[in-house]
Amino acid sequence: MNQNNRVTTLARHAYTQVYADYLRSGNLEEATRQVAQLIYTHRGNKPGTPQGDWQEAERITREWPHTVTESSQAHLFDKALAKTRQWLKEIEEELGMTNPNDAYRALRAVLHTVRDRLPVKECAEFSAQLPMMVIGLYYSGWTPVGKPEKLRSMDEFLGKVGEQLPSGMDPLRVTRGIIRVLERHVAPGELKDVRRNFPEKLREVWEETAKTR
């Protein structure tokens, strides 16, 4: 694949959440920063430098102002919004909620705790399975420094989930509900890789929950 085709492919597919944010805000500098961070994340142990990541990000985002059209914006947002609404509706049904705001907070709490327990490479691979707009939620506030966090027990994991939940929400019940939704939408092989990174008790709870979805 030549360089121009590679840039276009990356711009339209590999970084679709950042692309969507750019379409909404028009802030190309912020989009370039986010793409550079994703390049670093996906690079894993491969050689590279922050300067090289930034230069690659600039090559990717430089094409965006020339490729944005009204039709591409409408198609991208309609599809992304519909998929995200589907996930939130399923979470509401799983947890007996009555509004998408609670579903959003539940999803964020579990995804952030899962994310922070994963090695950087696995974190990125898992994110590729999520809806475009959920990827933004997933990476919000994330940094690769100090990852993975050492959550060694079920209580530590649920404690982290509970920190982001409104008062009165049961972290275990919320975690089970989010697991059931993930099991319906994420590739089994990827979820198996995710489970390997968790304490034994949590792996057991995840597998038991998956069987009842």
Domain contains 41: yes
Domain contains 42: yes
Angle 128-79-36 (CA atoms, 0-180°, nearest 5)? Answer: 40
Domain contains 75: no
Specify whether 205 is located in the same domain as 117: yes
User: What is the tens place of the pLDDT at every residue in 54-112?
Assistant: 898 888 888 777 666 554 555 556 677 788 899 999 999 999 998 899 999 999 999 99
- Identify the pLDDT of residue 74: 55
- Identify the pLDDT of residue 115: 94
For residue 35, give every residue at least 6 positions away whose Cβ sits within 8 Å of its Cβ, in sequence order, or none: 15, 18, 57, 60, 61
User: What is the tens place of the pLDDT at every residue in 23-43?
Assistant: 667 788 888 888 888 888 777
CA–CA dist 114, 148 (Å, integer): 10
At 72, give phi and psi (nearest 5°). Answer: -65, -40
CA dihedral 175, 177, 178, 179 (to 10 degrees): 80
- Identify the pLDDT of residue 16: 67
- Angstrom CA distances, 93 to 3, 107, 122, 174, stand at 46, 13, 29, 12
Can you give the residue range of the structural domain that contains 52? 3-68
pTM: 0.66
Domain contains 191: yes
